[in-house]
Amino acid sequence: MSGKEFFREVTRDFFVIVTFCNLAVFVLGSIFKPEARFGYEAFLSPLIYGVLGVLPGVLMYSNHELKIREVIVRKAIQLVFLEAIMYLVVFGIDGMKKEDPRVLVGLGVSVLIIYVLVPIIDWIIDSREAKQLTEDLLEFQKNEKE
């Protein structure tokens, strides 16, 4: 994968993560802290989470084809790294000790769901692009024969 393709993928993942973070904050906030109100600075949180969400992928980037075992190990490391980062950023070490365990589990599950959904969204987008390219190529070949 070229640097340009990698940057494009990271950027797309960032926006998908930010969207899902907004949804997760809404759902978790509605369940666990419906009375909470925020100022404008709260709009920065999903952007920060988006950057943190793509960070493990950037750190684990490889320019050579990985074996299945290497992919699985890297994905597991990414998930553990991502969960740890999010807990530390959202709660801090002292905050985790004081927080309701249901909120901690909710955050962990949200991170896991987003971690699983991002590559699925990537695959759907890539499949659509590949289908469109194939259709365009077939149309081009058809026009060349005529």
| pLDDT string in tens for the chain (146-residue length) | 677 888 888 899 999 999 999 999 889 989 998 898 888 888 888 898 899 888 887 777 777 788 899 888 988 998 999 999 888 888 887 887 788 889 999 999 999 999 999 999 999 999 999 999 999 999 999 888 87
d(CA 67, CA 27) in angstroms, rounded, equals 37
Q: What is the pLDDT of residue 39?
A: 84
Q: What is the pLDDT of residue 1?
A: 65
d(CA 62, CA 1) in angstroms, rounded, equals 9
Backbone angles phi, psi at 122, to 5 degrees: -55, -45
State the alpha helices, DSSP H only, in 63-100: 68-90, 92-98
* CA nearest neighbour of 13 among 90, 95, 123, 137: 123
Q: What is the pLDDT of residue 130?
A: 95
Helices and strands per DSSP (H, E), number in the chain: 5, 0
Q: What is the pLDDT of residue 132?
A: 95
